[in-house]
Structure 1
Amino acid sequence: MTALRPEREDLYGGEPFEPPIDEETVALRVPPPPGFVFGGESISASGASTAPPLTGTPAGGRAARRKAARGRHGRHGGHGGHGGGDRGAYGGGPEDPPGSVGRPLSRVEARRRARASRPSAAVVFSRAVGEVFITAGVLMLLFVTYQLWWTNVRAHAQADREASSLQDDWASGKRNPGAFSPGQGFAILHIPKLDVVVPIAEGIDSKKVLDKGMVGHYGEDALKTAMPDAKTGNFGLAGHRNTHGEPFRYINRLQPGDSIVVETQDEYFVYKMASILPVTSPSNVSVLDPVPPDSTFTGPGRYITLTTCTPEFTSKYRMIVWGKMVEERPRSKGKPDALVE
């Protein structure tokens, strides 16, 4: 390793000087290339070292150093030829070679470049169409959310309030059996198999009754049907299958023998499901006759008819469920077995 440590005379004592050996980094100390300047010494090709005036600076005088600085940074000390400014403002662009000095743009060239940077009419049109479709999609999503979720939430709350109010009035004796005005609640429908408990109001008006989550009684004009306490007749009810509380959504799952209970101020009327008509026309009002022709009933009796729209989420057809009364129980005797089980 002595060849890597050239000796030189000590400037003061005239004795040869040898730098101390650092045993930890000795493997890293390789001879520097000829002419290399480091730490104030320049190593020549023969291995002799010289000390330039300034450490880490190019050899030569002040003029040489200035010339080297101009070569590295340009005349004005910036990168790119104009003090590091925006090359595009002087005509420099992607097509110009790196490090070239740009030239100022003429007005024609500036306008041409500005027009080229603007989106075309087709791009603007496609963006506008895309925004319209996105907006329409968001509005449609909000509408579907309102129809399928919010209407149910609101209708359930309204129906629960009406049922509670009805039971409170019965307990206080404020309501008496008799004729009821349109939209007025007078009974509660229970379908235990479907976990349905919903008020029954007079009339089938959408805004006053059905859209509030209640079930409506066909009790007006040509569609007038009997009340539950009538000795014979057909007690007809209508309800939404989808949205607005959808109390009749799953009546297609009822099987013969399933209980349907109507609770009034004084009595419970218990019916057993008898038959179902899956599809019929909305104009088929014969399903509400005292003895419906499409049912299994053969003579006068005390019946109940549930009507709703079908298929789901449409109102094209009607689904009909019929039941026959099997028990009339005063409230004083407690709830019927169908509501206790």
Structure 2
Amino acid sequence: MSPTHRRRRGAALVGVLGELLLTLGALLALFLVWQLWWTDVMADREQAGIIDGLEQEWGEVDERIAPRQDGPPPVPEIPGENMVWGKMHVPDFDRPTFPLAEGVSLEEVLNVKGAGHYPETALPGQVGNFSVAGHRNTYGRVFEDIARLEPGDPVVVETADAFYVYEVTESLIVQPQDVEVIAPTPGQPGVEPTEQMMTLTACHPMYSARERYIVHAEFAYWTDRDDGIPEALATGAGPSDSDASREGEER
């Protein structure tokens, strides 16, 4: 084989390799667009439809601030695995409202419906650890802003009958195998629960599943949905505002 022929053959191979790399680069770019953008578009549409359906089924909520209720909160009815049964409201999130379904299946819940309740954990308002998972990026990223939560911030669960208000107590980062964070007594498996707790779980860091970002919260109060919205969801009404309001009424 002559040197000229070898050079031509080498140039042809380089050309083919270059085309393959360009094709792979284009496919990777398309995959990233689908993963980081299109999955959000589709999930947002699905979740918006679910929220609209719940509002039509439950009826509108009066915007007046509902009084806090005494006594144990009602236990919500769970329609079945992978079914939506509530809404979550996190005022400090950029996307503050999203559906809540039963189960943590990626294909049936987290990728399409919103947040998912760990089936073996407590229900809202019950003694124990009501635990919820959600995506931090892609597929609607309902927990994208989970690292923004600070002690005292409200996390609210809405069902057909009631609002359940929790307040954040702490945040931590754990390994995926550290499942004791969703134990009935968080961090203490085997210990009988005495408090009404909530745990939120999401992948950490962003765009990685190497660790888990955990937020613990404790139950603060509940309100009857027929009475309006809880003060935690009233614009500009933080704990100090509501306390001041009650003090004024007492005077």
Same fold by TM-score, threshold 0.5 exceeded?
yes
- Output one character per residue of 1:72-121: Cα deviation in whole Å (capped at 9) or x when no partner: xxxxxxxxxxxxxxxxxxxxxxxxxxxxxxxxxxxxxxxxxxxx799710
Distance 2:6 2:17 in 1: 18
2:192 equivalent to 1:293 = no
Count of residue pairs brought into register by the alignment:
214
Match of 1:202 in 2: 102
The AA in structure 2 aligned to 1:167 is E
Match of 2:58 in 1: 170
The AA in structure 2 aligned to 1:316 is R
Shift of 1:283: 1.6
2:157 equivalent to 1:257 = no
* Greater relative CO, 1 or 2 (CA 8 Å, sep 6+): 2
Contact 2:78–2:85 (Cα < 8 Å) also in 1: no
* Greater Rg by CA: 1
- Output one character per residue of 1:198-225: Cα deviation in whole Å (capped at 9) or x when no partner: 1000000001100014100001xxxx00
Match of 1:151 in 2: 39
Contact 1:189–1:262 (Cα < 8 Å) also in 2: yes
Distance 2:164 2:85 in 1: 14
The AA in structure 1 aligned to 2:77 is G
Distance 1:226 1:299 in 2: 10
Q: Secondary structure at the match of 1:194?
A: coil
Match of 2:79 in 1: 180
Q: Secondary structure at the match of 2:111?
A: helix
Percent identical residues: 36
Distance 1:299 1:218 in 2: 17
Match of 2:26 in 1: 138
TM-score (norm 2): 0.80
Shift of 1:171: 2.8
Q: Secondary structure at the match of 1:207?
A: helix
Distance 1:322 1:236 in 2: 9
Q: Secondary structure at the match of 1:182?
A: coil
Match of 2:225 in 1: 331
2:85 equivalent to 1:193 = no
Distance 2:187 2:130 in 1: 15
Distance 1:179 1:157 in 2: 24
Contact 1:282–1:316 (Cα < 8 Å) also in 2: yes
The AA in structure 1 aligned to 2:180 is S
Distance 2:15 2:48 in 1: 48
Contact 1:213–1:247 (Cα < 8 Å) also in 2: no
**Structure 1 residues 327 and 127: alpha-carbon distance in aligned structure 2, compared to 1, 3 A threshold:** same
**Structure 1 residues 188 and 157: alpha-carbon distance in aligned structure 2, compared to 1, 3 A threshold:** same
Contact 1:159–1:212 (Cα < 8 Å) also in 2: yes
Match of 1:120 in 2: 8
Distance 2:166 2:19 in 1: 56
Match of 1:248 in 2: 143
The AA in structure 1 aligned to 2:121 is T
Contact 2:100–2:116 (Cα < 8 Å) also in 1: yes
Match of 2:216 in 1: 322
Q: Secondary structure at the match of 2:116?
A: strand
The AA in structure 1 aligned to 2:164 is F
Which of 107, 127, 132 is the matching residue for 1:237? 132
Distance 2:11 2:18 in 1: 11
Q: Secondary structure at the match of 2:107?
A: coil
Distance 1:118 1:234 in 2: 71
Q: Runs in 1 of length 4+ with deviation above 3 angstroms? A: 116-119
Distance 2:76 2:218 in 1: 22
Shift of 1:229: 3.6
Shift of 1:177: 4.2
**Structure 1 residues 213 and 181: alpha-carbon distance in aligned structure 2, compared to 1, 3 A threshold:** closer
Shift of 1:169: 1.7
Q: In angstroms, what is the RMSD of aligned CA positions? A: 2.1
The AA in structure 2 aligned to 1:122 is G
The AA in structure 2 aligned to 1:169 is E
